[in-house]
């Protein structure tokens, strides 16, 4: 067996140079130790062959552990934020955790925060749950041997896709409760309500599965126009999703069909956002849209004037929207007015009572004043460090895809600041009965969904996507001669014609 090789000559320069030199010394030590294990010695002839072989195997295993440990040290040295550095930016490193090893479970592909838990998905089908406040590993489950989707969770279940197989896990233990193949090729990860999992298909179909019925069931079907390439968003009242043809669909999560839809003039490449009583979407047409979740009406829209692919984030009565050129717009979620704007920003990270944390276009963790948007500083991070988009608490989670997850927060915030939409508004919202009239019924799973090109045309409104046809005051009333709310409205334009651009399921904005 060849010994570990070491590059001779001067040590490599650059970031992590000290760790790389340490890694090289560990390789030398491991190699020398393994040579000593099987080198002929004074008593080697007296050892039985079997015992000698076992000793060699044990020595090589120890050598491998030394090399792996040195590699982890290299990883930590490059990606971890030192406590002193964090403190200079008014932050504290609360914890860091090693989630397995890249060699055995693959690199980290998805991390999701859900109610005090971090759900980590690896590229080799391993799902790990961490305590979001301590970093302690709660459980680990393997669901396949390939990269899965971003997990979704409720109080009892965790739902994840691996290939075309839907897995439903018990939240408390990670035990697989049931699994089954979905109807066609998934376009993104699932969404989950209290009772159902919703799986988006590239074809535009959404399949709904009852979490308690197990694998032997007929799912609900919702058909939409275009490809669904992003996970659906779930609220207590609705399930909603976007398509690459510029449509934002809102449906009844209890199987009552599609309630209403918003048509934009460009593809939608980002997931919607919600802050009761509104739903929000951004589009490549340069607009931010706010829908009243109860009434299905457009409350307001804000023009940015440039495409938006990054997901908006609604938190604490504010909406953060990001343009492709690096502009961040902080909007009043109720009125749609601009509160402040910041430049050179890529994505949202988290928010505290006084600060907004974002990733800037240089990959740094930028710190903005929550009231004015003024830049207070920027903490450098490793080029391979990803930032979790966390609109639920003030905690900052940094992920090294090969190694560690670390948590930062402001020192005075010993308990997480949680952001929840006003409960009384969410409790008072009810499905409007008039919206149910004419809503398309969910199709059974064994029926072939209508192709997008065969769906009826309706003429888009000039400015308001929910504007009624001429002479009609109810935008949701069925047109003359039919019960289909998406039936012909007398125009020749087809709102389902694809906008300029491709159908790439890996388009940015996820």
Both 63 and 184 in a single domain? no
In the chain the first and final C-alpha atoms are separated, in Å, by 46
Burial 135-146 (b: 16+ CB within 10 A, else e): bebbebbebbee
pLDDT band at residue 51 using 50, 70 and 90 as cut-offs:
low
Is 486 within 8 Å of 478 (Cβ atoms)?
no
Cβ count near 317 (within 10 Å): 12
> Is 177 or 452 the better-scoring residue by pLDDT?
177
Both 166 and 63 in a single domain? no
* CA pair distance 475, 485, nearest whole angstrom: 9
Mean pLDDT of the chain: 78
Both 200 and 279 in a single domain? yes
Q: Is pLDDT above 70 for 173?
A: yes
* Residue 387 within a domain: no
pLDDT on residue 77: 52
* Residue 253 within a domain: yes
What does the CA dihedral 477, 481, 485, 488 come to, rounded to 10 degrees? -120
* Residue 414 within a domain: no
Helix spans in 368-477 (H): 423-428, 433-436
pLDDT band at residue 67 using 50, 70 and 90 as cut-offs:
very low
Range of the domain at 69: 17-79
pLDDT on residue 62: 52
* CA pair distance 238, 430, nearest whole angstrom: 10
Helix, strand, coil abundance in the chain, percent, nearest 5: 15, 35, 50
103 class by beta-carbon count within 10 Å (0-12 exposed, 13-18 middle, 19+ buried): exposed
Of the candidates 79, 94, 115, which is a domain's last residue? 79
88 class by beta-carbon count within 10 Å (0-12 exposed, 13-18 middle, 19+ buried): exposed
**What are the tokens at 151?**
């997990």
Both 170 and 291 in a single domain? yes
> Is 270 or 28 the better-scoring residue by pLDDT?
270
Q: Is pLDDT above 50 for 208?
A: yes
* CA pair distance 249, 235, nearest whole angstrom: 13
* Residue 196 within a domain: yes
Q: Is pLDDT above 50 for 212?
A: yes
Domain of 488, CATH number, reads 2.130.10.10
Q: Is pLDDT above 80 for 151?
A: yes
Both 70 and 189 in a single domain? no
* Residue 267 within a domain: yes
* Residue 422 within a domain: no
pLDDT on residue 383: 86
Q: Which span out of 42-46, 238-242, 452-456 was modeled with the highest average pLDDT? A: 238-242
Both 203 and 312 in a single domain? yes
* Residue 453 within a domain: yes
Encode pLDDT of 319-368 as tens digits: 999 999 999 999 999 999 999 999 999 999 999 999 999 999 999 999 99
Q: Is pLDDT above 90 for 456?
A: no
Both 164 and 308 in a single domain? yes
* Residue 155 within a domain: yes
**pTM of the full predicted structure?**
0.72
* CA pair distance 351, 357, nearest whole angstrom: 6
Both 54 and 157 in a single domain? no
Q: Is pLDDT above 70 for 36?
A: no
Is 358 within 8 Å of 352 (Cβ atoms)?
no
Both 66 and 176 in a single domain? no
pLDDT on residue 181: 96
Is 458 within 8 Å of 494 (Cβ atoms)?
no
Find the range with the poorest average confidence among 351-365, 389-403, 414-428, 435-449: 435-449
CA 401-407-410 angle, to 5 degrees, is 145
User: Which DSSP string do the residues of 105-135 spell out, in sequence order?
Assistant: H--EEEEEEETTEEEEEETTSEEEEEETTT-
Q: Is pLDDT above 60 for 480?
A: no
Strand-pair partners of 400: 385
Both 201 and 311 in a single domain? yes
pLDDT on residue 401: 78
**What average pLDDT score do residues 397-413 get?**
93
Q: Is pLDDT above 50 for 188?
A: yes
In the chain, pLDDT over 90 holds for what percent of residues? 60
Question: Which residue, among 283, 288, 290, has the nearest Cα to 334 in the 3D structure?
Answer: 290
Both 200 and 309 in a single domain? yes
Of the candidates 43, 64, 79, which is a domain's last residue? 79
**What average pLDDT score do residues 173-200 get?**
96
Find the range with the poorest average confidence among 117-131, 236-250, 415-429, 469-483: 469-483
Number of compact structural domains in the chain: 2
Both 181 and 312 in a single domain? yes
Of the candidates 53, 79, 105, which is a domain's last residue? 79
């Amino acid at each position: 067996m060849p010994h570990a090789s070491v590059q001779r000559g001067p040590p490599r320069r650059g970031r992590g140079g000290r760790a790389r030199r340490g890694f090289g010394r560990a390789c030398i030590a491991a190699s020398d130790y393994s040579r000593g294990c099987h080198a002929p010695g004074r008593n080697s002839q007296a050892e039985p062959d079997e015992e000698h072989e076992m000793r060699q195997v044990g020595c090589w295993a120890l050598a491998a552990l030394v090399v792996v440990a040195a590699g982890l040290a290299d990883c930590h040295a490059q990606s971890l934020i030192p406590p002193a550095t964090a403190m200079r930016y008014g932050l504290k490193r609360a914890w860091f955790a090693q989630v397995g090893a890249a060699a055995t479970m693959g690199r980290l592909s998805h991390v999701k925060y859900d109610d005090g838990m971090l759900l980590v998905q690896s590229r080799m089908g391993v799902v790990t749950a961490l305590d979001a406040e301590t970093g302690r590993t709660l459980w680990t489950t393997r669901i396949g041997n390939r990269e899965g989707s971003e997990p979704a969770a409720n109080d009892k279940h965790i739902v994840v896709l691996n290939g075309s197989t839907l897995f439903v896990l018990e939240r408390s233990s990670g035990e697989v409760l049931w699994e089954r193949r979905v109807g066609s090729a998934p376009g993104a990860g699932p969404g989950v309500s209290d009772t159902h999992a919703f799986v988006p298909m590239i074809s535009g179909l959404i399949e709904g599965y009852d979490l308690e019925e197990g694998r032997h069931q007929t799912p609900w079907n919702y058909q939409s126009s275009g490809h669904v390439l992003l996970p659906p968003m779930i609220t207590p009242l609705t399930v909603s999703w976007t398509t690459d043809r510029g449509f934002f669909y809102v449906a009844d999560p209890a199987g009552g069909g599609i309630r209403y839809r918003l048509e934009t003039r460009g593809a939608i490449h980002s997931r919607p956002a919600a802050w009761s009583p509104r739903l929000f979407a951004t589009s490549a047409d340069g607009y931010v849209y706010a829908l009243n979740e109860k009434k299905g009406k457009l409350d307001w829209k804000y023009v940015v004037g440039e495409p938006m692919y990054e997901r908006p984030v609604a938190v604490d009565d504010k909406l953060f929207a990001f343009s492709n050129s690096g502009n961040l717009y902080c909007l009043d979620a109720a009125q749609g007015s601009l509160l402040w704007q910041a430049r050179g920003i890529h994505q949202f990270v988290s928010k505290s009572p006084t600060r907004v944390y974002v990733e800037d276009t240089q990959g740094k963790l930028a710190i903005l004043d929550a009231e004015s948007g003024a830049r207070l500083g920027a903490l450098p991070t490793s080029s391979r460090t990803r930032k979790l988009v966390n609109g639920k608490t003030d905690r900052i989670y940094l992920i090294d895809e090969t190694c560690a997850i670390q948590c930062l927060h402001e020192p005075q915030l010993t308990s997480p600041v949680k952001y929840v939409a006003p409960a009384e508004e969410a409790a008072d919202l009810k499905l409007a009965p008039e919206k149910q009239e004419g809503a398309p019924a969910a199709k059974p799973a064994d029926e072939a969904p209508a192709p997008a090109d065969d769906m009826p045309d309706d003429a888009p409104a000039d400015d308001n996507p929910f504007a009624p046809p001429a002479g009609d005051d109810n935008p949701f009333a069925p047109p003359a001669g039919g019960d289909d709310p998406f039936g012909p409205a007398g125009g020749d334009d087809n709102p389902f014609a694809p906008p300029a651009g491709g159908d790439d399921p890996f388009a940015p904005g996820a």
